């Protein structure tokens, strides 16, 4: 039985002249007709790089030394940026990052949809490029050879955890506590049986959810509680699936008590959420995004508005504040409940939430039969190709599409245009500074208006 022999990688660094950037933020160079993807390199630069992987058509490399630097290069604000996979563009200036994201969206519109918006709007910039990230899933691993516990994100392009003791892009309530968290986990009896920690921050409170593979000893529970007390953090355990998550500090008064919150002051709203709920990671961009979506839809009294993939009501309730009747639809029943809770707490009675399978034709649902004047859609990364085929049935004059994936937005935009809508305007939002994530927003209007 033959075994495939692993290719021997060159030991000497390779000189690379970077021509452009890939969509995942790596520099692209050519060598004897072969493509080179180079981590940590920018267009126009000449770098010395180490080959970390080789294939028949391309090589993957990591920058070791910059011989000729781009004017767009900056000092990384994080000492772990070269290795940690949590960020990939810290070496690129903020302005260059925005241009990269705009170019990515333009290219996807051209490639997938063959269209371009009538107007490109100015990019939505983050209030702060550091300390912004309020949600994350941190990996935990005990490294026997080092007799230590690592906590953080995976290294770039492999499964190892990066050895970090802080994270400058995360909310400081979490990012500045990585080292104490590592020390806590190393001191516990279950030091090698907690594979991850989910973190979530609201405006006033922050929480950690520990995934415990086994029942914790009384001593371990006491240590977690003491950690929460010392660092002003709510502490949760997750012994099995998401339904088993429960708070151990402060002592829970019931499921309805296990909430964080954030404010949307412009709409006089307080939005409550469970630490495991989906919420936007960047509070500043979220406020600006909600404002823009509401302005673009321009809801008038008496109009019916549909919010698809509504979650806990992040767009639904602000739209309801502007008048009309708003229907929020979500595939996750727990989030439907959360939306109803938030509507009640904020005294809104012109909004209704419904659960539905958003992967098929739902135009026959009772809440859909009256049609809608305006629609907002905020789908997952996979987009909403099937849904876009049905939207014309509602007769909406305007549709705002919020996207976390430029490829599926462009694809779906093509569907919308073929079904009677024109792409009026679009632009990017810097929800994840220092990463290649491209968040965007687009406005469509019916062509017969």
Between 236 and 1, the higher pLDDT residue: 236
Q: Give pLDDT, residue 8.
A: 81
The verdict on 30 and 139 lying in the same domain is: no
**In CATH, what number is assigned to the domain containing residue 405?**
3.40.50.150
Residue owning tokens 């296990």 = 258
Which residues does the annotation place in the binding site for S-adenosyl-L-methionine?
A: 280, 309, 314, 330, 357, 378
* Reported confidence tier of residue 26, pLDDT bands at 50, 70, 90: very high
> Do residues 310 and 332 make contact, with C-beta atoms less than 8 angstroms apart?
no
The verdict on 304 and 412 lying in the same domain is: yes
Q: Is residue 79 part of a domain?
A: no
Q: Give pLDDT, residue 5.
A: 59
Query: Does residue 2 register a pLDDT over 70?
Result: no
The verdict on 245 and 295 lying in the same domain is: no
Q: Among the residues of 60-153, which ranges form H helices?
A: 94-108
Kindly report whether the global pTM for this prediction surpasses the value 0.75. yes
Which residues does the annotation place in the binding site for [4Fe-4S] cluster?
A: 78, 84, 87, 167
Q: Which residue is catalytic, options 201, 310, 388, 404? A: 404
Query: Does residue 1 register a pLDDT over 50?
Result: no
86-117, pLDDT tens digit by residue? 999 999 999 999 999 999 999 999 998 789 99
Phi, then psi, of 170 in degrees rounded to 5: -80, 155
The verdict on 299 and 342 lying in the same domain is: yes
- Give the torsion through C-alpha atoms of 24, 30, 36, 39, to 10 deg: -60
In terms of Cα–Cα distance, which of 351, 410, 358 is closest to 379? 358
Instruction: Tell me the CA distances in angstroms from 186 to 192, 196, 286, 326, 362, one per residue in order.
Output: 8, 14, 36, 49, 50
Query: What share of the chain has pLDDT > 90, as a percent?
Result: 85
Q: Give pLDDT, residue 3.
A: 54
What's the average model confidence in pLDDT over 140-148?
Answer: 92
295-346, pLDDT tens digit by residue? 999 999 999 999 999 999 999 999 999 988 999 999 999 999 999 999 999 9
Residue owning tokens 């810097």 = 430
Q: Is residue 262 part of a domain?
A: no
The verdict on 424 and 337 lying in the same domain is: yes
The yes-or-no answer on residue 310 being catalytic is: no
> Do residues 136 and 432 make contact, with C-beta atoms less than 8 angstroms apart?
no
The verdict on 288 and 354 lying in the same domain is: yes
The verdict on 338 and 313 lying in the same domain is: yes
* Reported confidence tier of residue 360, pLDDT bands at 50, 70, 90: confident
Range(s) of the domain holding residue 229: 135-250
Which residues does the annotation place in the binding site?
A: 78, 84, 87, 167, 280, 309, 314, 330, 357, 378
**Per-chain mean pLDDT for the chain:** 94
Q: Give pLDDT, residue 46.
A: 98
Q: Is residue 57 part of a domain?
A: yes
**Largest interatomic CA distance in the chain:** 74
What's the average model confidence in pLDDT over 65-82?
Answer: 96
Helix (H) or strand (E) holding 272: strand 269-273
The verdict on 123 and 139 lying in the same domain is: no
Number of domains observed in the structure of the chain? 3
The verdict on 330 and 432 lying in the same domain is: yes
The verdict on 208 and 286 lying in the same domain is: no
The verdict on 57 and 189 lying in the same domain is: no
């Amino acid at each position: 039985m033959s075994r495939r022999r692993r290719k021997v990688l060159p030991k000497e660094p390779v000189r690379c002249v970077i021509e452009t950037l890939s969509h995942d933020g790596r520099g692209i160079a050519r060598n004897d007709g072969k493509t080179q993807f180079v981590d940590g390199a920018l267009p126009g630069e000449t770098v010395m790089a180490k080959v970390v992987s080789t294939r028949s058509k391309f090589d993957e490399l990591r920058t070791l030394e910059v011989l000729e630097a781009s004017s767009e290069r900056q000092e990384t604000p994080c000492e772990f940026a070269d290795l940690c996979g949590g960020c990939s563009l810290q070496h690129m200036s903020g302005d260059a990052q925005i241009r990269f994201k705009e170019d990515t969206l333009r290219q996807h519109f051209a490639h997938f949809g063959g269209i371009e918006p009538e107007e490109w709007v100015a990019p939505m910039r983050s209030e702060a490029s550091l300390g912004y990230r309020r949600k994350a899933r941190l990996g935990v691993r005990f490294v026997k050879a080092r007799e230590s516990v690592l906590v953080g994100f995976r290294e770039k392009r492999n499964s190892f955890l990066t050895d970090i003791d802080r994270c400058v892009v995360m909310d400081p309530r979490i990012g500045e506590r990585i080292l104490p968290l590592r020390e806590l986990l190393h001191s516990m009896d279950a030091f090698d049986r907690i594979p991850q920690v989910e973190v979530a921050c609201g405006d006033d409170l922050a929480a950690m959810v520990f995934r415990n593979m086994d029942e914790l000893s009384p001593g371990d529970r006491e240590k977690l509680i003491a950690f929460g007390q010392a660092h002003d953090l709510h502490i949760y355990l997750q012994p099995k699936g998401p339904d088993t998550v429960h708070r151990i500090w402060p002592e829970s008064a019931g499921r309805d008590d296990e909430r964080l919150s954030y404010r949307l002051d412009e709409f006089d709203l307080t939005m409550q959420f469970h630490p495991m709920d989906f919420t936007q990671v960047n509070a500043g961009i979220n406020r600006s995004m909600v404002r823009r979506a509401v302005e673009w839809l321009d809801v008038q009294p008496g109009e019916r508005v549909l919010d698809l993939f509504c979650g806990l009501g992040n767009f639904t309730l602000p739209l309801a504040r502007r008048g009309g009747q708003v229907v929020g639809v979500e595939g996750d029943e727990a989030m439907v409940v959360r939306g109803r809770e938030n509507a009640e707490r904020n005294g809104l009675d012109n909004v209704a939430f419904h659960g539905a399978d958003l992967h098929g034709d739902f135009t026959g649902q009772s809440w859909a039969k009256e049609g809608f004047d305006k629609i907002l859609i905020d789908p997952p990364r996979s987009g909403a190709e099937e849904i876009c085929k049905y939207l014309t049935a509602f007769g909406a004059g305007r549709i705002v599409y919020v996207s976390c994936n430029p490829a599926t937005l462009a694809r779906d935009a093509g569907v919308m245009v073929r079904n009677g809508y024109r792409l009026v305007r679009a632009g990017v939002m810097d929800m994840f500074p220092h990463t290649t994530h491209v968040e965007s927003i687009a406005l469509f209007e019916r062509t017969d208006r």
